[in-house]
Structure 1
Amino acid sequence: MPFANYKLPEASLSTAQKEDLIHKTTQLLVDYFGEVVRPNTMVLIEEVPDGGYGRADEVFIMPEEYRAKD
């Protein structure tokens, strides 16, 4: 069973963008492994809350202008 796991900042994608990412990821795996994997492909999008991750020793907070608008 193919499994893809995305960890993204909370509110960085709209619901429609998440659906698109799931469909495109599934299709990518089907293109690679064949149609037989479609029913068993799992795509998980995990949203990490602000302050739950960092880079270069700095805690990341998503700027409001980059948050998705549903």
Structure 2
Amino acid sequence: MPFANFKFPEGTLDHARKEEIIHRTTAMFVEYFGEGARPHSMVLIEEVADGGWGRADETLTLEKMGLAAQAGTGRA
């Protein structure tokens, strides 16, 4: 079963963007594994609370990334 797990900062994706990610990821699995993979493909999108993740030993926030004004718009 093909499986993808995406993690995004909370509030940066709207419903339409999540659907697009799910559809495009599933299409990629089908392209790679064949049409038989479609009914067994799983895509999980998780939203991580602001400040609940980090990179290179630094806690990241939407503000630090310059995204605070864009939160909730569907664009990250």
- Show the counterpart of 1:66: 70
Mind listing any 5+ residue stretches in structure 2 that lack a counterpart?
Answer: none
1:5 aligns with 2:5: yes
Match of 2:23 in 1: 23
Number of equivalenced pairs? 70
Runs of 4+ in 1 over 6 A off after TM superposition: none
Partner-residue secondary structure (3-state), 1:8 = strand
Deviations, residues 31-59 of structure 1 (Å, cap 9, x unaligned) = 00000010010000011101111123332
2:59 maps to a residue whose letter is: V
RMSD, matched Cα: 1.4
Equivalent position of 2:49 in the other structure: 49
Structure 1 segment 28-39 matched on structure 2, within 5 A:
28-39=28-39
Uncovered stretches (5+) of structure 1, i.e. residues with no partner: none
Report the identity percentage.
54
In 2, distance between residues paired with 1:56 and 1:35? 39
Secondary structure of 1:17 counterpart: helix
